Amino acid sequence: MAEKNQGTRLRQREPLTDAQMLMFISIAIFAAMYLAAMLTLKGGFLKPQQIFDLLNDNAALIIISCALTIVMIGGGINISVGGVIGLTVMSCALFLNNTTVESGFLSILLTFLLALGIGLAFGIVQGFLVSYLEIQPFIVTLAGMFLARGLTTILSVNPVKVTHEAFLALVKTKLKISWLGYTAQNGNLIPAKIEIGAIAAVAVVILMYLLLRYTKLGRNIYAVGGSQQSALMLGINVKSTLFWSYVISGLLSGLAGFVFLMHKPAGNASVAMRGEMDAIASSIIGGTLLTGGVGNVLGTFFGTMILATIQKVIALSPLNASWWQEMANGAMLGFFIILQSVVLSARSKRRARAMAKKQTDPASSPNPPPIR
């Protein structure tokens, strides 16, 4: 019993991992930033609807940021996600406008499967090239981005607005939460509204968190990202792990395209043009390292919310020009890169000192000398 209690106390005293530490830093910065916006700008930031608006407007970005996080934890990169979203949106818009399927539900289901199929195709091909042919992931996904953009332009140079009635009805469907609403000046209660795409984005974050934390594939992705050589020595199939990380990333990209279409039911060649860059920035701000082995999709979620809050604050301030948004994103990304370096370096030195102290302290050894 004493040994069991001692083991429980030791588990309780285990320090936070690097990913958890960086995630909590991102959460704290988001909370401080949002609180500052509430105190200074007030307006919509005082209403819960503002949080829902951030989710509604950035649901697709949250999903592809999770896709990037999974690949980056495994030590790879995928810069084709924005192109896949553009291709998915254009393909689905054209399919909905030209489908001969009379059932509204069936046509929407086929559109959803088309979106997943496009993302899955890119994920399988790129995953095979990266993992089994060992081609550099940056080159492979760069080619995938160009291919997706080119196919999007071939489908239609002009914008395509969705006219499918059943799909437009789905776009207008929102979950209403009355007790989080507010009273308008005319006395009417305006309930808080959240779109289906935002709910899907939150569900993706939860599912990917569970996959990375509690499944064998998730643990293998962390191991491969930390060191492929060590993962091989542990008996992990590195090629299969990398392949499935890209498959999941591609699948999430297709889903993000469908979610984007539900938020803005129109396709054009410029859809999600900077999506991959914003997704990478969200992942890094959320605590994911480009070197691999460290990351958390919960941190990525708050990284996306940080960028979304910056965008909203700048839009409501006098500095609402587009270049201020770019400068703010760049400054925030640079700040987090430096912060990650400082935090991880300090933790690494502290762990090294603790290990050295443990090795030199006789009382901390497993079999201390008897007391005479």
User: What's the confidence (pLDDT) of residue 367?
Assistant: 56
Residue 311 domain-assigned (yes or no): yes
- Full domain range(s) for residue 161: 19-343
The reported pLDDT for the residue numbered 5 is 52
The count of other CB atoms within 10 Å of the CB of residue 93 is 26
Number of structural domains in the chain: 1
Which pLDDT value is given to residue 289? 87
User: What is the rounded CA–CA span in Å between residue 229 and residue 219?
Assistant: 15
pLDDT of residue 11: 46
Q: What is the pLDDT of residue 321?
A: 66
Cβ(200)–Cβ(262) below 8 Å: no
- Within-domain flag for 5: no
Walk along the chain (372 residues) and give the pLDDT tens digit of each residue.
444 454 444 444 456 777 788 888 889 989 998 888 888 876 667 788 888 999 999 999 999 999 999 999 999 999 999 999 999 999 999 999 998 888 889 999 999 999 999 999 999 999 999 999 999 999 999 999 999 999 999 998 889 999 999 999 999 999 888 777 776 667 677 788 899 999 999 999 999 999 999 999 999 999 999 899 999 999 999 999 999 999 999 999 999 999 999 999 998 888 878 889 999 999 999 989 888 888 899 999 999 999 998 888 887 777 666 677 778 778 888 888 888 778 777 777 777 777 777 777 655 555 554 444
Q: Could you give the residue ranges of the DSSP H alpha helices within the chain? A: 2-12, 18-40, 49-57, 59-73, 81-98, 104-131, 137-155, 165-172, 196-214, 216-226, 228-233, 238-263, 275-285, 297-316, 322-360
User: What is the per-residue pLDDT for 363?
Assistant: 55
Q: Which residues of 182-198 are buried (b: 16+ CB within 10 A; e: fewer)?
A: eeeeeeeeeebbbbbbb
Residue 360 located in a structural domain: no
CATH code: domain of residue 204: 1.10.3470
Question: Which is it for the CA torsion 135, 137, 140, 142, positive or negative?
Answer: negative
Please give the full DSSP string across 289-340, using - where no structure is assigned: -TTSS---HHHHHHHHHHHHHHHHHHHHSS--SHHHHHHHHHHHHHHHHHHH
pLDDT at 10: 44
Report pLDDT for 87: 95
Beta pairing partners, 53: none
Q: What is the pLDDT of residue 372?
A: 40
Tell whether 145 is covered by a domain. yes
Residue 121: what pLDDT?
97
Determine, yes or no, domain membership for 40: yes
Would you say residue 120 lies in a domain? yes
Residue 192, SS3? strand
Residue 371 lies in a domain: no
Q: Which residues touch 204 (CB under 8 Å, ≥6 apart)?
A: 62, 63, 66, 252, 255
Q: Does pTM surpass 0.85?
A: yes
Domain annotation covers residue 351: no
The pLDDT score that the predictor gives to residue 18 is: 76
